[in-house]
Amino acid sequence: MDRFRMIFQYFQSNSESVMNGICGLLALASVKMYTCFDFSCPCLPRYNMAYGLGIMFVPPVALFLCSLILNRQSLVMLEEWRRPQGCRKKDLAVIRYLCSSIMQRAMVAPVVWIIVSLLDGKCLICAFSSYVDPEKFVGFASASPVQVQQLLAKVPCKDDELMRNNTSRKAVSRYLRCWSQALGWSIMLILIVAVFLARWLRPCFNQATLLQARHWSNYIDIEQKIFEETCCEHSRLFAHKCILHFFESMRQEVKLHSFSLPREGEGAGGEDNLLQGITDQDQVNKLLKMWYYEKPPLDVSQATQR
Amino acid sequence: MDKFRMIFQFLQSNQESFMNGICGIMALASAQMYSAFDFNCPCLPRYNLAYGLGILLVPPFILFLLGFVLNNNISMLAEEWRRPQGQRGKDQAVLRYMFCSMAQRAMIAPAVWVSVTLLDGKCITCAFCTSVPVKTLGNASHPSLSQGEMKRVLARIPCKEIYDGQELIANEVAVRYLRCISQALGWCFVLLMTTLAFLVRSLRPCFTQAAFLKSRYWSHYIDIERKLFDETCAEHARSFAKVCIQQFFEGMSTDLAATRCHPPRKAPADAEEASEKLLGITDQGTMNMALKSWHRCKPPLHLHPPALPSGNGWAGEGQPPTHPPVPQRETAAYYSRV
């Protein structure tokens, strides 16, 4: 029991680090997925834009939803938001705090994907190659407008027979890549500055409220974990009692049929206390319903006085 | 017992993470299987579609069934579903909860297979190469071929070495086009799956939280009860066997004492414990006879038999429960009153 308590305490004190760990893993998974993904631009006039921008924005949405799903706190927040008021008032500051912390963590993996794809450049080259100004590039300046569109659309495909040895293709490619990387680095710089300022300036505003919100959001998380554990412990004891009753009833039947001496039942005094007088299905159901509809007030002193 | 209980509690409170771990392993196995699989498009007009769609859809179905098979809780669900009502009512909500949670976990590996297949592009390229829009992508100057001939040529697109329609439509152009469509479908599928999972997870607390808590509790309960019952039966069997064997040896010892007219010698105090464990059998011949007797004529499964004239009877005190062996799972009569 001691060891179990130790492990539990570790998780309690580190639920934030567990979430940060998941966040980091997803960011790494995002980079890995991008490198494993075989980007192949269709090199056709209208398809390029859809493909390029699709690859840049659809996976981040999926990663964002994934982060929300994997984060346990999002469930905690939703439950706290939707529960009936009961005896415990709802604190919107806590819900807001939970929401913002979840969102911040969920945004990491999508932002990593977008930045990596911008720094790599393939997405932007594919999406915008048809939209560069052909006048700037020698090879494309002399062709007719329709031909220019076709040629520019093929720029991302190095191995295409028309583009294989075309130096203007490389020029367009370099030009777009330069823009893409500049955009990538700028976004990264802006984000890091924003995060830095937010963390630095936060203590200047509402620090006390923040401390309270953080404390009570931790509390809600821990309370739910302990409730689940207590339910597990209770169901184990419930099952134990149930099976003992079952064997006892069998014993009674045998006693009726064969007149052998009955054996004394095992004492379960200590466990009776843990069962807390809840010994049948209806009582357990009522307990669970009460827990949801009317959470007890956050005032333990009354419980000890009772 | 304490250590067992600790481990059990740990597993119990982490049963979800254990199942999630298995899920993750199956998903990785699914991706690995796909990369190890040697895809060989037949490059023939009607076979392409069958092969491509078959590779896309049949392995996920197999993985889905495998997900159920590997899940230990499937037998628990089946037992709970088929048991007679007896004194304990059946709760449909619990059965639904158990089934849904198993199905959700079993869906992950097939979804990974389908996503990886679509993002890779080979299956769709193979399956739909005969449907490439030749008019828009192909060379307009090429003389038109008959439908059958065109299909035959297009079917060879995935097989670059034997493709002979370069003048009709360039191989790279067609492959890029099909791949783009396939990857777009793949990402849409991934987005759809994650959106569905997100909705399922986030709408639950808004609507059915109380019912969910109830179902979850009782499904855990059923699992724990089953395990504890097995454990109790095993303990019982152990005690039963111990008493049975003890009675057998005591019977043998009494027999020997009767045949040899030796009063059972009282061992000196310091060696008492050891000689008690010997149960009165102290030489090779006697031991051999005991073993032979055990093999040829096992004692009845009935502790406390009535006092019989034969030497094998024993009417002493037994240990725990004296009723017949492991109770069988028969009908309602044996269900707990709780």
- Report the C-alpha gap between B53 and A13 in whole angstroms: 50
- Report the C-alpha gap between B323 and A73 in whole angstroms: 52
Contact pairs from chain A to chain B, CB under 8 Å: 160
Å from B80 to nearest chain A CA? 15
Please state, as a whole number, how many other Cβ atoms lie within 10 Å of the Cβ of residue B255: 18
B307: tokens are 């006092």
B159: tokens are 């097989």
Q: Is the pLDDT of residue B82 over 70?
A: yes
CB of A5 within 8 Å of any CB in chain B?
A: no
**Mean pLDDT value of segment B36-60:** 93
Nearest beta carbon to residue B187 from set A54, A65, A258: A54
Q: Which of B44, B46, B112, B102 is nearest to B75 (CA)?
A: B102
Residue numbers of the domain that contains A252: 207-258+279-305
* Tokens 């994650």, residue located: B194
One domain, residues A181 and A211 = no
Q: Coil, strand, or helix at residue B145?
A: coil
The answer to whether A176 touches A124, Cβ cutoff 8 Å, is yes
| Higher-pLDDT residue of B14, A78 | A78
Q: DSSP string covering A42-74, please?
A: ---TTHHHHHHHHHHHHHHHHHHHHHHHH-HHH
Quick one: DSSP state of residue B152?
A: H
End-to-end CA gap in chain B: 25
What are B75-84's contacts with CB under 8 Å, separation 24+? B76/B222, B76/B223, B76/B226, B77/B102, B79/B226, B80/B222, B84/B331, B84/B332
CB of A200 within 8 Å of any CB in chain B?
A: no
Evaluate whether residue A81 is within a structural domain.
yes
Evaluate whether residue A61 is within a structural domain.
yes
A269: tokens are 């005094």
One domain, residues A253 and A149 = no
Per-residue pLDDT at A148: 84
The answer to whether A254 touches A262, Cβ cutoff 8 Å, is no
Instruction: Report the Cα B167 to chain-centroid distance in Å.
Output: 55
One domain, residues A22 and A124 = yes
A181 by Cβ neighbours in 10 Å (0-12 / 13-18 / 19+) ranks as middle
Nearest beta carbon to residue B323 from set A59, A250, A289: A250
- Report the C-alpha gap between A63 and B27 in whole angstroms: 17
Evaluate whether residue A176 is within a structural domain.
yes
The answer to whether A55 touches A39, Cβ cutoff 8 Å, is yes
pTM of the model: 0.77
Per-residue pLDDT at B266: 52
Average pLDDT, chain B: 78
- Length, in residues, of chain A: 306
Q: Is the pLDDT of residue B337 over 70?
A: no
Chain B, 87 to 116: residues with Cβ < 8 Å from chain A are none
In this prediction the ipTM stands at 0.79
Evaluate whether residue A274 is within a structural domain.
no
Please state, as a whole number, how many other Cβ atoms lie within 10 Å of the Cβ of residue B61: 11
CB of A55 within 8 Å of any CB in chain B?
A: yes
What are the b/e assignments for B237-248, b being 16+ CB within 10 Å? Answer: eeebeebbebbb
Evaluate whether residue A114 is within a structural domain.
yes
The answer to whether A147 touches A65, Cβ cutoff 8 Å, is no
As a whole number of Å, the CA-based R_g of chain B is: 35
Q: Is the pLDDT of residue A288 over 60?
A: yes
One domain, residues A193 and A99 = yes
Cβ-defined contact of B217 to A250 (cutoff 8 Å): no
Out of A48-62, A85-99, A243-257, B211-225, pick the least confident: A243-257
What are the b/e assignments for B86-119, b being 16+ CB within 10 Å? Answer: eeeeebeebbebbeebbeebbbbbbbbbbbbbbb
- Report the C-alpha gap between B27 and B33 in whole angstroms: 10
Please state, as a whole number, how many other Cβ atoms lie within 10 Å of the Cβ of residue A117: 23
Search chain A and give the residue with CA nearest B317.
A261
Cβ-defined contact of B183 to A247 (cutoff 8 Å): no
Q: At what angle do helices B171-207 and B209-260 cross, to 10 degrees?
A: 80
One domain, residues A224 and A283 = yes
HSE toward the beta carbon, residue A2, CA cutoff 13 A: 0
pLDDT digits (tens, 9 = 90+) for B15-43: 666 777 788 888 889 999 998 999 999 99
One domain, residues A218 and A106 = no
**Mean pLDDT value of segment A160-164:** 75
Per-residue pLDDT at A269: 45
The answer to whether A247 touches B232, Cβ cutoff 8 Å, is yes
**Mean pLDDT value of segment B125-147:** 83
Q: How confident is the model at residue B252 (pLDDT cuts 50, 70, 90)?
A: confident
Cβ-defined contact of B191 to A61 (cutoff 8 Å): yes
The number of folded domains in chain A is: 2
Q: How confident is the model at residue A83 (pLDDT cuts 50, 70, 90)?
A: confident
Domain ranges of chain B: 1-207, 211-257
* Tokens 């913002």, residue located: A100
Cβ neighbors of B135 (< 8 A, separation 6 or more) are: none
Q: Phi/psi at B68 (nearest 5 deg)?
A: -70, -40
Q: Coil, strand, or helix at residue A293?
A: helix
One domain, residues A61 and A171 = yes
Amino acid at B136: T
Q: Coil, strand, or helix at residue B168?
A: coil
End-to-end CA gap in chain A: 28
B18: tokens are 């254990």
Q: DSSP string covering B273-289, please?
A: HHHHHHTT--SHHHHHH
Mutate to test the interface with A, among B13, B18, B90 (most CBs of A within 10 A): B13
| Higher-pLDDT residue of B268, A44 | A44
**Mean pLDDT value of segment B251-268:** 66
Degrees, nearest 5: CA angle A6-A101-B25: 60
Search chain A and give the residue with CA nearest B304.
A260
Cβ neighbors of A99 (< 8 A, separation 6 or more) are: A77
Handedness of CA A64, A66, A72, A74 (dihedral sign): positive
Cβ neighbors of A259 (< 8 A, separation 6 or more) are: none
Cβ neighbours of A227 in B, within 8 Å: none
- Report the C-alpha gap between B247 and A27 in whole angstroms: 67
Per-residue pLDDT at A22: 87
**Mean pLDDT value of segment B210-225:** 87
| Higher-pLDDT residue of B312, A69 | A69
Q: Phi/psi at B185 (nearest 5 deg)?
A: -60, -40
Evaluate whether residue A140 is within a structural domain.
yes
Cβ-defined contact of A65 to B194 (cutoff 8 Å): yes
Q: How confident is the model at residue B70 (pLDDT cuts 50, 70, 90)?
A: confident
Cβ-defined contact of B202 to A74 (cutoff 8 Å): yes
- Length, in residues, of chain B: 338
What are the b/e assignments for A26-57, b being 16+ CB within 10 Å? Answer: bbeebeebbeebebbbbbbeebbbebbebbbe
